[in-house]
Structure 1
C-alpha cells in the first residue's frame, strides 16, 4: 500500500511541477520584449553632470562624456534538470521552445547571446561551476538543435557566484539559466 501511495504522490508532484512550469513560462513575445536592446539614439544626452567632492581650489561639478553603463537586456528562466545532471527535464521544453522562437524573431535575429548557468550555494563551489557550465551548454545545444546558429550563442557556467537571492544562498531562484543579449 505504501508503494502505491508513494507512486501516487510522486506522480502528483510531477504533474503539479509541469503545471507550474507551464503557468510560469513566459511567452515568445514576452521574451522578445525582455531581450530586445533599446534603440541607440544619437544625441547629447550622453553628457552628464555629476557633483563630486570639492578639493582645494577645485570645482564641485564635473562633466563626463559617458553616461553610466546600462545593464544588458537579459532574461532568467527556471530550467529544470535531472538531479546532479545536465539533462533538461520535459517540463522545461516549452520555455526553451519559446526562447528558440524569440531568438529566431526578426527583432533578435542579428543579436548574440550568453547563456549563463547558475546554481545555489549547496555543495562544492568548483563542482557547482562545472555543473552550471554543463547545463548552460545543454541549453545552448538544445537551442542549436531548434535552428539557432551556434555562433550566436556562448555558454558559461557561473556556479553560485552570482545568486539571484544573495540573502538566501540555497534559494531555488538561484538555480536558473540567464540569457543575456550581447548587442
Structure 2
C-alpha cells in the first residue's frame, strides 16, 4: 500500500569497532571523524554465506547466526534516511545525508575500504515481501552513492535482510527497525 507524502525514517548505520549503540544524528565532520577511527582489520566475510543464511531463515531471524554475528564486531554509527512507504523511492531531503555519507567514503581515511550495504524493514507485511523490499532499498542507497555521488561500485555490496534483524525486538513493527546499514568490511581489493 502506498500513502502519498508519508515517509518512513530509516537508519543508515556504520558499525564501529567500539560497539556504539543506537542511532546518532551527526554532522559531516562528526561522520568523517567517527568513520576515520576504523583501524582494525575486518574479518573475512563471505557475502554469499550471508545471503544463504538470510534466504534459508526468512521469518526466523539471522542476527545470531555465525556469519551474521561476526559482523557485530565491525565498526557503527547511525543516521536517518527516509523512503516513501513500501517503496524504494528515497525522499529528496535524504540526499543531503547520503551526500554526507559519500563525502565520508571519499575521505582519504576511508576511500580504500569496502562496505556492505544492508537493508532492513520492520515486520509489517509478509516476511518474503520485506526481504525483497529491503534488498531493493539497499540497492537504491548503493545506486545513489555510486551514480549521484561517484562512490566506486567496487567498494559497495548490497544485501537485504528484511525483518530478520530488528533493532527493537520487543516491537517488530517499530519504525526503528526500518533502516539501511553500511558495514565496513575492511580494505577493498
Q: TM-score, structure 1 length as denominator?
A: 0.68
Aligned residue for 1:76, secondary structure, equals strand
Aligned with residue 183 of structure 2, among 173, 180, 183: 180
Aligned residues: 138
Q: Which runs of 5+ in 2 are unaligned?
A: 10-23, 42-69
Aligned to 1:31, the other structure's residue is in SS state helix
> 1:25 Cα deviation (Å)?
4.6
Q: Which residue matches 1:101?
A: 103
Deviation at 1:40, TM superposition (A): 4.5
Give matches, 1:42-57, under 5 Å.
Answer: none
Aligned-residue offset at 1:84: 1.4
The residue number in structure 2 matching 1:26 is 26
Q: Which runs of 4+ in 1 moved over 4 A?
A: none
Distance in 2 (alpha carbons) for counterparts of 1:138 and 1:79: 11
**What displacement does 1:71 show?**
1.0
TM-score (norm 2): 0.66
From the superposition, tell whether residues 90 and 38 of structure 1 become closer, same or farther in structure 2 (CA, over 3 Å): closer
**Residue of structure 2 in register with 1:135 after alignment:** 137
Residues 116 and 183, structure 2, Cα contact 8 Å, conserved in 1: yes
Alpha-carbon separation, structure 2, partners of 1:99 and 1:155: 16
* Alignment partners' CA distance in 2, 1:32 and 1:165: 27
More strand by share: 2
Distance (Å, rounded) in 2 between the aligned partners of 1:39 and 1:77: 21
Bigger radius of gyration = 1
Matched position secondary structure for 2:78: strand
Structure 1 residue ranges without an equivalent (≥5): 1-9, 18-23, 42-68
Structure-to-structure mapping, 1:1-183, within 5 angstroms:
25-36=25-36, 38-40=38-40, 71-145=73-147, 146-183=149-186
Matched position secondary structure for 1:133: helix
Mean Cα displacement is larger for which, 114-123 or 29-38? Answer: 29-38
Q: Deviations over 1:22-64 (max 9, x none)?
A: xx752222222333454349xxxxxxxxxxxxxxxxxxxxxxx
1:47 matched to which residue of 2?
A: none
